[in-house]
Amino acid sequence: MKRMYTSLMLAGSMLVGGQALAGDLLQWQNNSLSYLYGKDFKVNPAIQQTVTFEHADGWKYGDNFFFVDKIFYNGDKDFNNGPNTYYGEFQPRISLGKVLDQKVEFGPIKDVLLAMTYEFGEGDTESYLVGPGFDLAIPGFDYFQLNFYQRHTEGSRAGDNVWQVTPVWSYTIPVGDSSILIDGYMDWVMDNDSNSKGDYHANLHFNPQVKYDLGKALNLGAKQLYVGVEYDYWKNKYGIEDSQGFKTDQSVTSFLVKVHF
């Protein structure tokens, strides 16, 4: 199964490369750097500082999202990874509407896609996900995606045939001469208790950001400099069941600065 997921992602990457040579690949792209500071994390050291690079783009046959976190434990050491670690994801999606060169719309659905994710980092983190994705037209939202994945996780953390539901959204609220952007995602891994090879349990990770467009307010340019907070709720973090002896239900609000370029 690992080969199937790897082959799909390699095929997508090769298609991207081939179309780039054709000259009409990229339709839009956005890059950003973020800094976060938060306290009261679970499992890992309680105080964390994170620097995140993100890339998003739309191209002739779909879209891509990539991020990598570099996480510092404020002088403390994690049991497995020492004073710092990293984690990232690559999320390519292939659009049925773009491949067919016609609209694929019905009801609130404005496109159907093949969604994939590769999760990587230090320790036992490598996972491959694939399934159907949907772009939804929901009034007021800048965008709203709903992706359904079948997970294949390397190591002893989970079994096959486990499903994850991931909505992704963005919503902008005008405020005076600027705006507040509310965006984020939720990963809901379901039914792991019955499909697990080890002790990996069903879990829910809710991760929105609430950001003020400071760049627009200071006339430095809209959608370039944000300040705000990120909320991180994770029930059964890393699939570790919460208990009185070891708390894994995480609820953290982090200070956030984000620059787009």
Domains of the chain: 2-260 (2.40.230.20)
Cβ burial, residue 260 (10 Å; 0-12/13-18/19+)? middle
Q: First CA to last CA across the chain, in angstroms?
A: 37
Given a contact cutoff of 8 angstroms between Cβ atoms, the answer to whether 246 and 237 are in contact is: no
Choose among 66, 83, 68, 91: nearest CA to 9. Answer: 91
Count other Cβ atoms within 10 Å, centred on residue 2: 13
Kindly report the backbone phi and psi dihedral angles of residue 241, in degrees, each rounded to the nearest multiple of 5, phi listed first: -65, 130
User: Which residue has tokens 């627009």?
Assistant: 216
Quote the CA–CA distance of 210 and 171 in Å, as a whole number: 10
Instruction: Identify the three-state secondary structure at position 132.
Output: strand
- Check residue 7 and give its pLDDT: 54
- Check residue 20 and give its pLDDT: 44
User: Which mean pLDDT values do the consecutive 10-residue runs of the chain (261 residues) have?
Assistant: 54 50 79 98 97 98 98 90 95 98 95 98 91 98 98 69 93 97 97 59 96 97 98 95 95 98 95
